[in-house]
Amino acid sequence: MKQCKATNFCIHPIIGASYGKILYDAKAKDLTILANGLLQLIHDNDGIDRISILTAVVHCFHVMANVVKGRSEREVLSNFGSKLLPMSSDLIFPFGRQSQVSYKNWKNQILTAQCFINTIIGKNDLIVLKGWDVSNILQTINIALASPEISTEGSHFENAVYSTSCTIVSSLLKHYPKQLYGCTPSLTSALRCLLNHIMRVGNDKIEIFEEFRKVCELLPEHKDVFKKHIMHLILFYVDGIQKAQLEPSIFLLLGTLSEFETKQMNTLMRPAAKPLFHTVYKNYQKHQYKGQY
């Protein structure tokens, strides 16, 4: 624990491997003692050290979730993880909200929390998320990508948060679609944050666009639920800074709309945006035509 906190998770591979081996060999009783000790560390520190300690505890659990395999041992982790999940959202807040947290540590804690959340989503043998859990996770994406300090401090970190956020949304669509149906506005808001990131950053690497396209590929399966909300993403696109690399994603979004939503979107669209949308829509129709052969 002290090593994690002191080095900002720049842990020597030997130390990390040793910790993993200890966890792999640990029995349920040992893991219970460890989990209770980690939770107690959080509860005993309500001051300025709480965030750094919580970050270290979340990292420790992330390793535990990936290493521990026994059935009774996984049950211990399930109980531990259900208590830690709501606490992890405390690590994701706009930079500057807590003056004692440096930018470097702020970056670290957000990525640590996001990796932990993504692990929880993918391992439903540990925790089965409820609707409010899914909604809270989507809200953390909005908070992480909306901070004005991200783009001014370096695109590498910004793109790392964006990439992890795309993975989280994709994982939720794969593992928890029914829960997403109950918080569609939260999903739409998260998708808008991802789209806004691509439209405003100067990075035109193909990977950035591909990650968003992979998220959009999962939406048509649920179009009957999401189509009324997705049209607002398209409106946001035509009102903003358009990038040609985004067209494959926009085509996928257009594919979720019925004729009714398309006409409604035309009604809501600003007159100045209509020529651009008509161009995009013609390209979409050509894309559909080519796809038939």
Q: 145 and 100, same structural domain?
A: no
Q: 186 and 145, same structural domain?
A: yes
What is the number of structural domains in the chain? 2
Instruction: Give the pLDDT confidence of 113-159 residue by residue, as tens digits.
Output: 999 999 999 998 889 999 999 999 999 998 888 765 555 444 566 78
Q: 124 and 135, same structural domain?
A: no
Q: Which of 75, 16, 84 is nearest to 55 (CA)?
A: 84
Give the model's pLDDT for residue 200. 79
Tokens 């000790």 appear where?
A: 37
Of 67, 99, 128, the residue that ends a domain is 128
**63/18 Cα distance (integer angstroms):** 12
Give the model's pLDDT for residue 95. 64
Of 75, 96, 128, the residue that ends a domain is 128
The one-letter code for the residue type at 190 is: A
Q: 250 and 137, same structural domain?
A: yes
Give the model's pLDDT for residue 202. 59
Does residue 208 carry a pLDDT above 80? yes
Give the model's pLDDT for residue 150. 55
Give the model's pLDDT for residue 226. 94
Residues 11-22 have a mean pLDDT of 81
* Other beta carbons within 10 Å of 20: 15
**116/128 Cα distance (integer angstroms):** 15
The range of the structural domain enclosing residue 280 comes to 131-293
Q: 154 and 17, same structural domain?
A: no
Give the model's pLDDT for residue 96. 58
Give the model's pLDDT for residue 243. 82
What average pLDDT does the structure give for the chain? 85
Residues 284-293 have a mean pLDDT of 67
DSSP the chain: -HHHHHHTT---HHHHHHHHHHHHH--HHHHHHHHHHHHHHHHT--STTHHHHHHHHHHHHHHHHHH---HHHHHHHHHHHHHHHHHHGGG---TTSSTTS-HHHHHHHHHHHHHHHHHHHH-TTT----HHHHHHHHHHHHHHHH-THHHHH-HHHHHHHHHHHHHHHHHHHHH-HHHHHTTHHHHHHHHHHHHHHHHHSS---HHHHHHHHHHHHTSGGGHHHHHHHHHHHHHHHHHS---GGGHHHHHHHHTT--HHHHHHHHHHS-GGGHHHHHHHHHHHHHHHHHHT-
Burial of 230 (0-12, 13-18, 19+ CB in 10 A): buried
Instruction: Give the pLDDT confidence of 173-184 residue by residue, as tens digits.
Output: 999 999 999 999
Give the model's pLDDT for residue 10. 57
Does residue 292 carry a pLDDT above 50? no
Give the model's pLDDT for residue 7. 35
Q: 109 and 209, same structural domain?
A: no
Q: 112 and 17, same structural domain?
A: yes
Of 128, 154, 171, the residue that ends a domain is 128
18, 26 Cβ separation under 8 angstroms:
no
158, 151 Cβ separation under 8 angstroms:
yes
Q: 243 and 115, same structural domain?
A: no
- 137-151, 185-199, 235-249: lowest mean pLDDT where? 137-151
Give me the percent of the chain exceeding a pLDDT of 90. Answer: 53
pTM: 0.87
- 10-24, 95-109, 130-144, 254-268: lowest mean pLDDT where? 95-109
**118/104 Cα distance (integer angstroms):** 22
Q: Does residue 9 come out as left (phi exceeding 0), alpha (psi in the -120 to 50 range) or beta?
A: left
